[in-house]
């Protein structure tokens, strides 16, 4: 089984639009949206949820009003200002609580519970392009890296159960914890970049991360025709590092047109852009085969 992830050094490079198009071209493979903090692949694929599970991670303090005698020690000890007096006693602000457990350990009346924190949900859904494993963290919830690992595990198990030979992932932007978790066990990372100084810088950061984790890397230069000089610099960098450039895609308003219609661009009537995406997907599959 192969696993391919589409990532980028920052948001807004077209990563999700390309992932949706590749999912359409791949036809019936397992799709996994690993951008759990701000997922949007569902906006293109319109999933029908078949399974929903709650995601719990970490802990948060919760004061038992019947046991609390109002001494205020917990509020004094809390370094995050999460415990406040409300006139009738003390309560915990779950947004501020960091789950450090200091208040729990020092409460003289054992009045503070420490349940698991409810952080969001994850789903297995059906789409016209294949099964989709995806999730949504609550605003401000932590442990997105752990949720990414849950999704990857579910996607792999689903692929094995359905005898599907490919998991295609839409990764989170940047180089933080969710991206690091996303790279675990991946055969090929495809980095989408843009021809700007910041785009080139972000590509180099992501490439360094992939090199550290010994993950094979390929590059797509999106909107290459907007800045010929920066495109040439990215090409030179990729040649020096031996990173294959699998596509150079022009700026094309058809991408937005497809998005407004709730489609991926390869679902529109045949276009030069769509044909180039088809060729890019063929190159990506060939590179992933070499890594299995």
CATH number at 204 reads: 3.40.50.300
Q: Which of 46, 79, 114 is the last residue of a domain?
A: 114
Q: Helix 272-291 to helix 15-26 angle, to the nearest 10 degrees?
A: 80
Asked whether residue 223 falls in the same domain as residue 205, the answer is yes
- Domain boundaries, position 103: 61-114
Give the pair of three-digit tokens for residue 198. Answer: 């910041």
Listing DSSP states for 49-69 in one string gives: EEEEEEEEEEE--EE-TTT--
CATH number at 87 reads: 3.30.70.20
Asked whether residue 36 falls in the same domain as residue 152, the answer is yes
Asked whether residue 128 falls in the same domain as residue 106, the answer is no
Asked whether residue 83 falls in the same domain as residue 207, the answer is no
Asked whether residue 176 falls in the same domain as residue 104, the answer is no
- CA dist., res. 207 & res. 218, Å (int): 9
Asked whether residue 89 falls in the same domain as residue 172, the answer is no
Asked whether residue 237 falls in the same domain as residue 260, the answer is yes
Span 134-146, pLDDT tens digits: 999 888 777 788 8
Four-CA torsion 262, 177, 193, 133, nearest 10 degrees: -30
Closest by Cα among 230, 223, 231, 280 to 13: 223
Asked whether residue 261 falls in the same domain as residue 210, the answer is yes
pLDDT above 70 coverage of the chain, percent: 98
Closest by Cα among 22, 27, 24, 21 to 4: 22
Span 23-64, pLDDT tens digits: 999 999 999 999 998 899 999 999 999 999 999 988 999 999
User: Rg of the chain over CA atoms, in angstroms?
Assistant: 23
Give yes or no for residue 6 having a pLDDT over 90. yes
CB 182 within 8 A of CB 169: yes
Model confidence at 291, pLDDT cuts 50, 70, 90, reads low
Asked whether residue 31 falls in the same domain as residue 166, the answer is yes
Asked whether residue 105 falls in the same domain as residue 160, the answer is no
Helices (H), the chain: 15-26, 42-45, 73-77, 102-106, 144-161, 177-183, 197-212, 228-241, 254-260, 272-291
Asked whether residue 106 falls in the same domain as residue 221, the answer is no
How many structural domains compose the chain? Answer: 2
């Amino acid at each position: 089984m192969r696993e391919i992830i589409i990532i980028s050094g920052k948001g807004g490079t077209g990563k999700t639009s390309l992932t949706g198009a590749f999912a359409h071209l791949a036809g019936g493979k397992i799709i996994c949206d690993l951008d759990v903090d701000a997922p949007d692949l569902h906006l293109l694929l319109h999933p029908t949820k078949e399974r929903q599970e709650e995601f719990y991670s970490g802990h948060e303090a919760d004061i038992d009003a019947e046991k609390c005698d109002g001494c205020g020690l917990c509020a004094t000890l809390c370094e995050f200002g999460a415990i406040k007096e409300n006139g009738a006693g003390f309560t915990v602000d779950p947004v501020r609580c960091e789950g450090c457990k200091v208040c729990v350990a020092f409460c003289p009346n054992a009045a503070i519970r420490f349940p698991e924190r409810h952080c969001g949900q994850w789903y297995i859904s059906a789409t016209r392009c294949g099964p989709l494993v995806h999730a949504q963290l609550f605003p401000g919830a932590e442990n997105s890296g752990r949720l990414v690992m849950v999704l990857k595990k579910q996607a792999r198990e689903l692929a094995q159960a359905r005898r599907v030979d490919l998991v295609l992932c839409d990764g989170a932007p940047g180089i933080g914890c969710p991206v690091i978790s996303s790279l675990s066990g991946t055969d090929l990372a495809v980095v989408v970049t843009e021809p700007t100084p910041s785009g080139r810088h972000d590509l180099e950061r992501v490439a360094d991360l992939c090199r550290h984790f010994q993950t094979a890397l390929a590059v797509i230069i999106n909107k290459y025709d907007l800045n010929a000089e920066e495109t040439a610099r990215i090409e030179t960098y990729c040649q020096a590092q031996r990173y294959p450039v699998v596509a150079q895609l022009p700026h094309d308003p058809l991408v937005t047109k497809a998005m407004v219609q709730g489609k991926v661009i390869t679902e529109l009537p045949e276009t030069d852009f769509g044909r180039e995406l088809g060729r890019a997907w063929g190159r990506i599959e060939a590179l992933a085969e070499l890594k299995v």
